[in-house]
């Protein structure tokens, strides 16, 4: 976008208006007078500005330059400062952000803000520290290193470059030898090495890949071929393959092809705990540097990675959800691994689905998007049915790995020890006797979810939420898992003063306790959010497991994701039943995905694995379908049920949430919205509510919600296009905190 024309049109005396978006939760844009001195040619949409805002200053993003403001120009303030010489975002990225702001009905300033790393959003200058690269000259390539016999350190640097056959960056050289710097000058003088362009790395296609000896199986081959054929234009591929079927191998081979075209790849993962593993595998395969983007990095690290991709200095980025908006100089491919994972949906603020936005980004950039999963979301399978996505299937485990056997263990009327049936304990013993590992899965942390009085029935509740306090026995604490409230574990009932307090239900801590009693001579580790507080501690545990130092691993859902445990041959899900009876219509899908994902941890190598699910409902259709057939059969049935019920993906939803300290206000506010939209609804949109949220009170706030559902996406969005400015104006809007969730994945 060029504003020179607008500027030229301006008559003398007229002031130029900078229309900007500010990263605050209001929908409107803000008008400012042009700054005092500026270079007109440099004024492009997307540049960052500093503007006076309220009592202070804020960073703003230029949306457009206009010659007219609806506000009296004497009331307008002036832009204080221009921060960017040119926009850090490209026109296509801005288009994506404008689209996202419209689609998610979210303020543009916050959406644009989300595209920047924190440091840049706060106004840090975008100084790119470009690294120098060195490679060999023609004579450096052929010279015999022994000629440098008398300068052994120079000789070793020459040998290093001859060995790598690739330009090496300053970082890479430092990793090789901290004292490399003094060696460069003499080698440059001797014209054995030279400064290289980082891009030229890609030219060394032959040496791009370190270790690429795997022979793909026929399904992998046809998947790789299909995606390679689709490079250079938009298309969505859904790679469905059970755990261990070689999806990652497909990614690696496709990425290679993209790099050989001189293009960049963005790989998104649901969890940061998965990055070290993949990072290592990528590092083994590719000789070029990759950069990371996730929340455990410092602001500086994230900014550096973002700018490297933006400048085209780096070709591979591995990141979580928020990395999606990283600008790419030469975009080639976007990959989303574990596409079904709900962590791809941001649950607060700008509530976007990284999967859905990735698809739109692929379309705008005209590049393919590759979605991978062992258990694709029903949305994506539906898109395959509608021929929007192209399905690629890897039905077998790659190499020699054998698929695990799934079995149900009926625990009705069976004696249990803290959630473990005798038969399961027997199975654990047999597995351990073979020197193999056991993985036990329970999706509830803490000791027990309820503390109840045996005398009077009093229950420990959170004062601020509609929830029980969870017992954390080792620390002698009671904690609310929803608001973080905590208090000391009490010994006597505060209600009747006499009754005995009992722990009701099972958490990982309680199972860990019984395991240490039953298997006193074995090494047991518990992996859940409580045991993994420190940065890097999960990696340490994973390493111990893979070195065979651990016999029994007990954990929550964080274990269900992507980790390789080659020596685990027995996996048990202690309590599947708790997932079978939920009011959330997505519960069945999530449970089926969890079961399949967890079972994927068993027997990844040549040893066969076994997966045991303890249940009191062995005839439940969800369980029997997964058992006798597979995830795909489950998905087919589930999709048919959704269609019958008119639920997503056969309809579209927008959820309006409101909360306040006052118990009535959220409901009044939502009721006012119902009245507000009634005249605009031509009958195609169902309006459900307002109703109290499933957790009606949380962190001291009363919560209500209003669900809009329609088979006609366009009409649903049209309604909100019109309604949002009116909702903002409602007098109750000032008295509640409200939010809009488009395509909600969680109705809580
Ligand atoms: P997924 O990502 O689907 O879980 P991976 O790509 O991680 O699967 O593959 C699982 C294991 O099988 C890895 O150890 C990988 O090196 C190996 N593997 C993948 N493809 C092949 C193949 N064609 N031949 C032999 N081993 C393979
Ligand atoms: Zn009591
Ligand atoms: Zn609470």
Residue nearest to atom 25 of ligand 1 (CA): 399
Which of 312, 309, 311, 313 is CA-nearest to residue 323? 309
CB 600 within 8 A of CB 559: no
Are 702 and 578 members of one domain? Answer: no
Residue ending a domain, choose from 121, 144, 173 = 121
pLDDT digits (tens, 9 = 90+) for 684-714: 999 999 999 999 999 999 999 999 999 999 9
d(CA 293, CA 314): 13
Residue 10 pLDDT level (bands cut at 50, 70, 90)? low
Q: Which ligand is nearest to the CA of 495?
A: 2
Least confident interval from 203-212, 258-267, 296-305, 476-485: 203-212
Query: For residue 165, how far is its CA from the centre of ligand 1 (angstroms)?
Result: 28
Query: For residue 373, how far is its CA from the centre of ligand 1 (angstroms)?
Result: 14
pLDDT value of residue 367: 98
Which atom number of ligand 1 is nearest to the Cα of residue 220? 23
Q: Which ligand is nearest to the CA of 461?
A: 3
Q: Order of strands across the sheet with 17-22?
A: 30-33, 17-22, 56-66, 48-53, 81-82
Domains in the chain, number: 5
pLDDT value of residue 517: 96
Query: What element of type H or E holds 382?
Result: helix 378-385
Residue 535 pLDDT level (bands cut at 50, 70, 90)? low
Q: How do 416-417 and 568-573 pair as beta strands?
A: unpaired
Which of 383, 388, 370, 362 is CA-nearest to residue 96? 362
Are 188 and 250 members of one domain? Answer: no
Which atom number of ligand 1 is nearest to the Cα of residue 562? 4
Are 608 and 528 members of one domain? Answer: yes
Which atom number of ligand 1 is nearest to the Cα of residue 337? 2
Q: Whose structure tokens read 């120009």?
A: 73
Least confident interval from 92-101, 247-256, 278-287, 489-498: 278-287
Query: For residue 502, how far is its CA from the centre of ligand 2 (angstroms)?
Result: 10
Query: For residue 459, how far is its CA from the centre of ligand 3 (angstroms)?
Result: 14
Outline where DSSP puts E strands in 98-181: 133-136, 168-169
Query: For residue 530, how far is its CA from the centre of ligand 2 (angstroms)?
Result: 29
Query: For residue 272, how far is its CA from the centre of ligand 3 (angstroms)?
Result: 27
pLDDT value of residue 11: 44
Query: For residue 245, how far is its CA from the centre of ligand 1 (angstroms)?
Result: 6
Are 321 and 371 members of one domain? Answer: yes
Task: Identify the CATH number of the domain in which residue 272 sits.
Answer: 3.40.50.300
pLDDT value of residue 232: 96
**676 Cβ neighbours under 8 A, 6+ residues apart:** 723, 726, 727, 730
Residue nearest to atom 10 of ligand 1 (CA): 244
Which atom number of ligand 1 is nearest to the Cα of residue 600? 4
Mean pLDDT rounded to a whole number for the chain = 90
Is the pLDDT reported for residue 156 higher than 60?
yes
Task: Identify the CATH number of the domain in which residue 102 sits.
Answer: 3.40.1440.60
Which atom number of ligand 1 is nearest to the Cα of residue 215? 23
Query: For residue 697, how far is its CA from the centre of ligand 3 (angstroms)?
Result: 9
Pocket test for ligand 1, best of 212, 216, 244, 336 (most atoms within 8 A of CB): 244
Pocket test for ligand 1, best of 212, 246, 251 (most atoms within 8 A of CB): 246
Residues with Cβ–ion distance below 5 A, ligand 3? 462, 464-465, 480, 482-483, 485
Residue nearest to atom 15 of ligand 1 (CA): 246
Q: Whose structure tokens read 């079995």?
A: 407
Is the pLDDT reported for residue 594 higher than 70?
yes
Cα-based torsion angle of the residue sequence 275, 280, 281, 287 in order, rounded to the nearest 10 degrees: 120
- Phi and psi at 429, nearest 5°, equal -60, -45
Residue 280 pLDDT level (bands cut at 50, 70, 90)? confident
Find out whether 493 is annotated in a ligand binding site: yes
Is the pLDDT reported for residue 12 higher than 50?
no
Which residues sit with their C-beta closer than 6 Å to ligand 1? Answer: 214-217, 220, 241, 243-249, 398-399
Is the pLDDT reported for residue 85 higher than 50?
yes
Which spans in 196-245 are helix H? Answer: 200-203, 205-208, 218-229
Are 186 and 248 members of one domain? Answer: no
Which of 390, 335, 358, 396 is CA-nearest to residue 225? 390
**670 Cβ neighbours under 8 A, 6+ residues apart:** 656, 658, 689, 690, 704, 705, 706
Least confident interval from 175-179, 202-206, 257-261, 479-483: 202-206
In this structure, is residue 487 part of a structural domain? no
Is the pLDDT reported for residue 202 higher than 70?
no
CB 326 within 8 A of CB 713: no
Find out whether 465 is annotated in a ligand binding site: yes
Q: Give me the mean pLDDT over the 414-426 stretch.
A: 95
Find out whether 453 is annotated in a ligand binding site: yes
In this structure, is residue 477 part of a structural domain? no
Find out whether 680 is annotated in a ligand binding site: no
Least confident interval from 66-70, 273-277, 284-288, 615-619: 273-277
Q: How do 701-710 and 685-698 pair as beta strands?
A: antiparallel
Q: Give me the mean pLDDT over the 614-635 stretch.
A: 92
In this structure, is residue 320 part of a structural domain? yes
pLDDT value of residue 420: 96
Q: Which ligand is nearest to the CA of 700?
A: 3
Pocket test for ligand 1, best of 253, 399, 562, 599 (most atoms within 8 A of CB): 399
Query: For residue 175, how far is its CA from the centre of ligand 2 (angstroms)?
Result: 63
Q: Which ligand is nearest to the CA of 562?
A: 1
Residue ending a domain, choose from 612, 640, 668 = 640
Query: What element of type H or E holds 142?
Result: helix 138-142
Residue nearest to atom 5 of ligand 1 (CA): 246
Residue nearest to atom 6 of ligand 1 (CA): 246
Is the pLDDT reported for residue 672 higher than 60?
yes
Which atom number of ligand 1 is nearest to the Cα of residue 245? 3
Q: HSE (CB half, 13 Å, CA atoms) of 674?
A: 16
Which atom number of ligand 1 is nearest to the Cα of residue 217? 23
Task: Identify the CATH number of the domain in which residue 688 sits.
Answer: 3.30.70.600
Find out whether 483 is annotated in a ligand binding site: yes
Q: Which ligand is nearest to the CA of 497?
A: 2
CB 25 within 8 A of CB 106: no
d(CA 229, CA 236): 12
In this structure, is residue 206 part of a structural domain? no
Residue nearest to atom 8 of ligand 1 (CA): 246
In this structure, is residue 453 part of a structural domain? no
Are 264 and 185 members of one domain? Answer: no
In this structure, is residue 748 part of a structural domain? no
Query: For residue 576, how far is its CA from the centre of ligand 1 (angstroms)?
Result: 29
Other Cβ atoms less than 10 A from the Cβ of 438: the count is 26
Q: Which ligand is nearest to the CA of 496?
A: 2
Q: Which ligand is nearest to the CA of 695?
A: 3
| Percent of the chain scoring above 70 in pLDDT | 94
Residue nearest to atom 9 of ligand 1 (CA): 246
Q: What burial letters (b/e) apply to 617-653, b meaning 16+ CB within 10 Å?
A: beebebbebbbeeebeebbebbbeebeeeebbbebbb
Q: Give me the mean pLDDT over the 628-655 stretch.
A: 95
Are 435 and 319 members of one domain? Answer: no
pLDDT digits (tens, 9 = 90+) for 473-530: 999 999 999 999 999 999 899 999 988 999 999 999 999 999 999 999 999 999 988 8
In this structure, is residue 463 part of a structural domain? no
CB 17 within 8 A of CB 34: yes
Which atom number of ligand 1 is nearest to the Cα of residue 249? 6
- 3-state SS string over 403-427? CCEEEEEECCCCCEECCEEHHHHHH
Residue nearest to atom 23 of ligand 1 (CA): 216
Is the pLDDT reported for residue 8 higher than 90?
no
CB 303 within 8 A of CB 277: no
Q: Which ligand is nearest to the CA of 373?
A: 1
DSSP symbols for 634-665: HHHHHHHHHHHHT-TTSSEEEEEEEEESSSSH
Are 275 and 365 members of one domain? Answer: yes
Are 560 and 625 members of one domain? Answer: yes
Which of 575, 591, 592 is CA-nearest to residue 508? 575
Alpha carbon 69 to its chain's center: 40
Find out whether 291 is annotated in a ligand binding site: no
Query: For residue 659, how far is its CA from the centre of ligand 1 (angstroms)?
Result: 48
Find out whether 314 is annotated in a ligand binding site: no
**152 Cβ neighbours under 8 A, 6+ residues apart:** none
> Which of the given ranges, 115-129, 268-282, 552-566, 726-740, has the highest pLDDT on average?
726-740
Residue ending a domain, choose from 121, 148, 174 = 121
Residue 5 pLDDT level (bands cut at 50, 70, 90)? low
In this structure, is residue 70 part of a structural domain? yes
Q: How do 168-169 and 133-136 pair as beta strands?
A: antiparallel
Are 660 and 636 members of one domain? Answer: no
Q: Give me the mean pLDDT over the 139-168 stretch.
A: 86
Is the pLDDT reported for residue 186 higher than 80?
yes
Query: For residue 477, how far is its CA from the centre of ligand 3 (angstroms)?
Result: 14
Query: For residue 485, how far is its CA from the centre of ligand 3 (angstroms)?
Result: 5
| Percent of the chain scoring above 90 in pLDDT | 64
Residue 41 pLDDT level (bands cut at 50, 70, 90)? confident
Are 380 and 431 members of one domain? Answer: no
Find out whether 456 is annotated in a ligand binding site: yes
Residue nearest to atom 14 of ligand 1 (CA): 244
Q: Which two tokens stand for residue 488?
A: 């000391």
Is the pLDDT reported for residue 658 higher than 70?
yes
Q: Give me the mean pLDDT over the 721-733 stretch.
A: 94
Pocket test for ligand 1, best of 213, 238, 242, 249 (most atoms within 8 A of CB): 249
Are 147 and 246 members of one domain? Answer: no
Which of 559, 581, 587 is CA-nearest to residue 572? 559
3-class DSSP state of 727 = helix
Domain range for 7: 3-121
Residue 222 pLDDT level (bands cut at 50, 70, 90)? very high
Query: For residue 248, how far is its CA from the centre of ligand 1 (angstroms)?
Result: 7
pLDDT value of residue 128: 64
């Amino acid at each position: 976008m060029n504003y020179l024309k607008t500027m030229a049109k301006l008559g003398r005396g007229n002031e130029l208006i900078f229309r900007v978006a500010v990263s605050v939760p209001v929908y409107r844009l803000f008008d400012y007078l042009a700054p005092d001195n500026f270079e007109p040619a440099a004024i492009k949409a997307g540049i960052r500005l500093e503007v006076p805002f309220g009592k202070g200053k804020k960073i703003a993003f230029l949306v457009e330059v206009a010659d007219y403001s609806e506000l009296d120009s004497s009331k307008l303030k002036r832009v204080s400062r221009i921060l960017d010489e040119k926009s850090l975002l490209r026109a296509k990225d801005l288009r994506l952000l404008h689209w996202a702001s419209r689609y998610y009905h979210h303020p543009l300033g916050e959406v644009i803000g989300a595209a920047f790393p924190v440091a840049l959003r706060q106004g840090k200058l975008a100084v790119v520290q470009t690294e120098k690269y060195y490679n060999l000259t023609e004579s450096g390539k052929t010279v015999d290193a022994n000629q440098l016999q008398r300068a052994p350190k120079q000789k070793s640097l020459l040998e290093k470059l001859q060995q790598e056959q690739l330009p090496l960056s300053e970082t890479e050289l430092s990793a090789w030898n901290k004292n490399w710097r003094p060696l460069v000058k003499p080698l440059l003088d001797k014209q054995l090495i030279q400064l290289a362009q980082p891009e030229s790395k890609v030219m060394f296609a032959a040496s791009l890949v370190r270790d690429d000896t795997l022979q793909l199986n026929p399904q992998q081959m046809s998947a790789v071929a299909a995606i390679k054929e689709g490079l250079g234009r938009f298309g969505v591929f859904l790679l469905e393959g059970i755990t261990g079927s070689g999806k990652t191998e497909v990614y690696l081979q496709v990425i290679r092809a993209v790099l050989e075209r001189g293009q960049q790849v963005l790989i998104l993962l649901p969890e940061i705990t998965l990055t070290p593993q993949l990072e290592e595998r990528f590092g083994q395969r590719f000789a070029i540097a990759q950069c990371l983007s996730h929340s455990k990095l410092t602001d500086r690290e994230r900014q550096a990675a973002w700018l490297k991709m933006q400048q085209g200095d780096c070709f591979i980025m591995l990141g979580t959800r928020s990395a999606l908006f990283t600008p790419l100089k030469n975009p080639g491919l976007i990959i989303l691994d574990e596409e079904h994972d709900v962590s791809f949906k941001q649950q607060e603020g700008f509530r976007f689905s990284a999967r859905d936005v990735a698809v739109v980004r692929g379309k705008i950039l005209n590049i393919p998007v590759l979605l991978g999963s062992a258990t694709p979301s029903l949305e994506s399978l539906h898109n395959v049915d509608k021929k929007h996505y192209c399905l690629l299937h890897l039905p077998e485990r790659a190499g020699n790995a054998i698929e695990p056997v799934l079995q149900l263990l009926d625990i009705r009327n069976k004696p249990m020890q803290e959630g473990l049936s005798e038969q399961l304990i027997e199975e654990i013993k047999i597995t351990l006797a073979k020197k193999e590992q056991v993985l036990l899965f329970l999706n509830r942390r803490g000791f027990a979810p309820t503390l109840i009085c045996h005398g009077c029935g009093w229950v420990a509740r959170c004062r601020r939420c509609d929830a029980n306090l969870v017992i954390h026995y080792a620390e002698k604490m009671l904690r609310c898992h929803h608001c973080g409230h905590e208090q000391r574990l009490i010994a006597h009932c505060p209600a009747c003063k006499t009754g005995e307090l009992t722990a009701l239900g099972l958490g990982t801590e309680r199972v860990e306790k019984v395991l240490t009693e039953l298997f006193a001579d074995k090494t047991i580790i518990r992996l859940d959010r409580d045991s993994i507080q420190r940065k890097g501690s999960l990696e340490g545990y994973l390493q111990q497991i893979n070195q065979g130092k651990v016999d029994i691993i007990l954990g929550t859902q964080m274990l269900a994701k992507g980790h390789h445990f080659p020596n685990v041959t027995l996996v048990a899900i202690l309590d599947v039943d708790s997932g079978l009876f939920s009011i959330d219509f997505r519960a069945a899908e999530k449970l089926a995905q969890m079961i399949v994902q967890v079972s994927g941890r068993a027997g990844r190598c040549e040893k066969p694995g076994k997966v045991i699910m303890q249940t009191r409902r062995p005839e439940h259709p969800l369980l029997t379908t997964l058992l006798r057939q597979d995830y795909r059969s489950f998905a087919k049935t589930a999709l048919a049920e959704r269609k019958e019920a008119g639920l997503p993906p056969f309809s579209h939803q927008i959820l309006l949430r409101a909360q306040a300290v006052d118990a009535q206000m959220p409901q009044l506010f939502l009721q006012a919205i119902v009245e507000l939209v009634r005249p605009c609804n031509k009958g195609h949109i169902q309006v459900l509510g307002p109703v109290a949220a499933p957790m009606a009170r949380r962190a001291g706030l009363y919560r209500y919600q209003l669900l809009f559902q329609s088979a006609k996406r366009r009409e649903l969005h049209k309604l909100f296009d019109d309604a949002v400015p009116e909702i903002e104006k409602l007098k109750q809007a000032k008295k509640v905190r409200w939010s809009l969730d488009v395509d909600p994945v969680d109705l809580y």
